[in-house]
Structure 1
Amino acid sequence: MVVLRESPWYQEILKEGLQQGLQQGLQQGQMQIVMRQLSRRLGEIPLDLRQQIEGLSEAEIDELLEASLTRFESLQDLRTWLTQANR
C-alpha cells in the first residue's frame, strides 16, 4: 500500500481530488455568503428562488452577490434578476 501511495499516478489522482474538494468548498462558502446577504437585505428567501440560485454558475453567483449589495430592494428585484440570468 505504501508503494501505491508513493506512485505518481496515485499522487496525481489525490491532487485532483483535493483540488476538486477545495473548489467545491469555496463554492459552497460563496453560496452561503450570497444567501446570507440576500436574507439580510430582503428577508426570508422563498424555496423556489433558493433553488434557482443554487443552479447558478460560479460567475453568476459573483454577479448576484454584487447585485445584492447595490440593486435589490425587494424579492421581485431578485426574481427579475434570476429570470434574466436564466435566458
Structure 2
Amino acid sequence: MRESVIYQDILEEGREEGALTSKLNSIPRLSALGLSVEQIAQALDLDLEIEQVPEVNEGQN
C-alpha cells in the first residue's frame, strides 16, 4: 500500500499542507519581532499577495 502512487501523492500533499501551516503559524511571531510583511514573505518563501480590504466605515455617512 505504501508503495502505491495514490498513497505517495496523498502523503506528499499532506506534507506540503503541513509545511504551509507551519509557515503561516510563524507569521505572528515574526511580525511581533518587527519584520515587515515583505521581510516575512521573503523569510518564509511565500508569495506576497496583498488585497486591499475596504474600511468598515467607508461609504457610510
Q: TM range, normalised to the smaller chain?
A: 0.5 to 0.7
Q: CA deviation at 1:38?
A: 1.3
Sequence identity (%): 11
TM-score by length of 2: 0.56
Asked if 1:52 is matched to 2:60, the reply is no
In structure 1, C-alpha distance between the alignment counterparts of 2:44 and 2:21, rounded to whole Å: 14
* Number of residue pairs the alignment of both structures matches: 44
Q: Going by fraction, where is helix more abundant, 1 or 2?
A: 1
Q: Which residue of 2 aligns with 1:22?
A: 14
Aligned-partner SS, 1:54 = coil
Compute the displacement of 1:54 (Å).
1.5
Deviations 1:31-54 (A, max 9, x none): 001112212x1346241x222321
Which structure has more relative contact order (CA 8 Å, sep 6+)? It is: 1
Alignment RMSD, CA only?
Answer: 2.4
Unaligned runs of 5+ in 1: 1-7, 56-87
